[in-house]
Amino acid sequence: MSQVTSRLISRVILPYRREDAGAPPSLHADYRSTMLRAPRLAPLAIPATLTEVTGPDHAWARLMGPAMADLTVQHRGEPQGQRIVVAGLVLDEQARPVPDTVIEIWQANAAGRYIHSRDDWPAPLDPNFTGVGRVITDAEGRYRFVSIRPGAYPWGNHKNAWRPAHIHLSLLGPAFATRLVTQMYFPDDPLIEIDPIANAVPMPYRQRLVARFDIGTTVPNWALGYRFDIVLKGRDQTPFEEEHDDH
């Protein structure tokens, strides 16, 4: 292979897709904090460069440390609450697995209280539960973690506002372009229907955020199981060839 050819190949940038119809808008007036924080100007579309299609790949352990897949064993005793297993796949838009990628997890305790000094509503803290973890997908894109079901909690968006029970999930994916922070909700939670954050996602896509109870993931005599797959932005199959002066 000539040097020129190798340079051309290395310059082919396979872009990631832009957000799909399920993406929430930045401004969603029912979620009041967006009113002063959402940009008012439309984001500027730029072509993908090396900056957007690269990412820290396999460096998660070096950056964040080893996996913490069981949120119920981080303290002296067991946390209060319903023990759960959450498992699923991380996929791209072509349903191909995304292997060796980190999922960071944080959540409230069974009473709906976060271990955070700015969360001071009168629900009990649990000395045996922090509510933080991280897992890494295997070669088939699978992940699994153990936790307790978080409680709902009130917040100040409007009078008598309550967030549905949820688990926060953060993914880097393979590139700067695939960064995703989301929340997983539980089936049969009536609060989802009236939650302005969940409902910033238009229907039916909001339902992508609702996990499925699964008897196959449930562990007999031990924990209820939920399935939740995470789909990151994908890339189109065919790279488009860029024009070059020396071509």
Partner 1 sequence: MTTDLEALNAAPRLDNQDPTLFGQTPSQTVGPFFHYGLPWKGGADLVGRSDLGARPDLMPPEHFLLATSGVSGAPQGEVIEIAGGIYDGQGTPLNDVMVEIWHANAAGRYASDEDGREEVPLDPHFVGFGRGATDANGIWRFRTIRPGRVPGPGNTLQAPHIALSVLGRGLLKRLATRLYFADGEGNGDDPILALVPPERRDTLIARRRPDGVWWLDIVLQGENETVFFDL
CA distance 32 to 184: 21
Q: Assess 96 for contact with partner 1 (CB under 8 A).
A: no
Q: Assess 139 for contact with partner 1 (CB under 8 A).
A: no
163 catalytic? Reply is yes
Residue 101: DSSP 8-state? -
Total chain residues near partner 1 (CB under 8 A): 111
User: Between 131 and 141, whose beta carbon lies closer to partner 1?
Assistant: 131
Q: Which of 102, 146, 175, 223 binds partner 1 (CB under 8 A)?
A: 175
Instruction: Provide the sign of the torsion angle of the four alpha carbons 174, 180, 185, 190, taken in this order.
Output: negative
Closest residue by Cα to residue 109 from 83, 86, 87, 136: 83
Q: Assess 120 for contact with partner 1 (CB under 8 A).
A: no
Q: Are 209 and 202 in contact (CB under 8 A)?
A: no
In angstroms, what is the minimal distance from the CB of 195 to partner 1?
A: 10
From the list 5-13, 77-85, 139-147, the region that binds partner 1 by CB under 8 A is: 5-13
Residues 31-60 as x/- pattern, contact with partner 1 by CB under 8 A:
x-xxxxxxxxxxxxxxxxxxxxxxxxxxx-
Q: 5-13 contacts: CB < 8 A, separation 24 or more?
A: 8/244, 8/247, 11/242, 11/244, 12/239, 12/240, 12/241, 12/242, 13/47, 13/48, 13/49, 13/50, 13/53, 13/239, 13/242
Q: Assess 215 for contact with partner 1 (CB under 8 A).
A: yes
Strand partners, 86: 145, 226
58 catalytic? Reply is no
In angstroms, what is the minimal distance from the CB of 34 to partner 1?
A: 5
Residue of 166, 206, 226, 235 marked active site = 166
166 catalytic? Reply is yes
Closest residue by Cα to residue 107 from 144, 132, 74: 132
Q: Are 104 and 169 in contact (CB under 8 A)?
A: yes
114 catalytic? Reply is yes
Residue of 149, 163, 206, 235 marked active site = 163
In angstroms, what is the minimal distance from the CB of 137 to partner 1?
A: 14
Q: Assess 204 for contact with partner 1 (CB under 8 A).
A: yes
From the list 77-85, 103-111, 143-151, the region that binds partner 1 by CB under 8 A is: 103-111
Residue of 16, 114, 143, 226 marked active site = 114
16 catalytic? Reply is no
Strand partners, 212: 227
Residues with a catalytic annotation lie at 114, 153, 163, 166, 168
